[in-house]
Amino acid sequence: MIGEDGEQLGVFMTKEAIRIAQERNLDLIEIVPTATPPVCKIMDFGKYRYEMSKREKLQKKHQVTSQVKEVRFHPRTDTHDFEFKTRHARAFIEEGHKVKATVVFRGRQITYQDQGREMLARFTERMADIAKLEQDPRMEGRQMVAVFVADKTKKKVTTSKSKESEKEQDHA
């Protein structure tokens, strides 16, 4: 049996261990039932459950949830609109989200799939320094889709370069 402060109290009969726990207004909890003799601990079970629930909530809070953000283009999207949407996609990647780049073909535009492929190639080129292509461009009905994720190796390189430039400025 283990006491409430963690020290070993020794081996006791079950009734004796329960009596000791009741005298201290605590609970007797079986920790390792497969051991011979079974290992029990004296503790406040309500307090233990409360601390466990707090710990679980804290773990959920620190969990990172990643969403898929979509950026939509058309085969004839203007350069300004393209750059604007690319900046948004970069922001999404930096926040840790995945980015789904979609080129939507309307009507007879479906015959110009090469323009859509070129647009996604330009987009891939612009995103290359912070993201990598998770899913190559492919057709899904009347849409051409490519998925990008943050490239952690490139992110570390850019942060280390910025730290080096800060050091150089400090020495200057």
- Give per-residue pLDDT as tens, 14-23: 899 899 999 9
Average pLDDT on 86-97 reads 90
The domain spans of the chain are 1-45, 68-152
Cα 14 from Cα 45, distance rounded (Å)? 18
Look-up of token digits 């899913």: 135
Q: Residue 101: pLDDT above 90? A: yes
The burial of 73, by beta-carbon neighbours within 10 Å (0-12 exposed, 13-18 middle, 19 or more buried), is given as buried
Q: Look at residue 145 in the predicted model and tell me its pLDDT.
A: 93
- DSSP string of 5-50? TS-B-----HHHHHHHHHHTT-EEEEEETTSSSPEEEEE-HHHHHH
Most confident of 34-38, 82-86, 131-135: 82-86
Average pLDDT for the chain: 85
Average pLDDT on 2-12 reads 87
Whole-model pTM?
Answer: 0.54
The burial of 85, by beta-carbon neighbours within 10 Å (0-12 exposed, 13-18 middle, 19 or more buried), is given as middle
Average pLDDT on 135-145 reads 90
Q: Look at residue 163 in the predicted model and tell me its pLDDT.
A: 54
The DSSP code for 95 is: T
Residues 6+ apart with CB under 8 A from 136: 146
1-45: CATH, from 3.90.550.10, 3.10.20.80, 3.30.1520.10, 3.40.50.720:
3.10.20.80
Closest CA to 129 of 145, 147, 150: 150
What SS3 state is found at 63? coil
Q: Look at residue 146 in the predicted model and tell me its pLDDT.
A: 93
Specify the length of the chain in residues: 172
Chain centroid to CA 160: 22
Q: Look at residue 157 in the predicted model and tell me its pLDDT.
A: 45
- DSSP string of 121-164? HHHHHHHTTTEEEEEEEEEETTEEEEEEEE-HHHHHHHHHHHHH
Q: 132 pLDDT band (50/70/90 cuts)?
A: confident
Q: Residue 169: pLDDT above 80? A: no
- Can 1-45 and 68-152 be said to share one CATH topology? no
Average pLDDT on 67-87 reads 91
68-152: CATH, from 3.30.110.10, 2.30.110.10, 3.40.50.460, 3.40.630.10:
3.30.110.10
Q: Residue 96: pLDDT above 60? A: yes
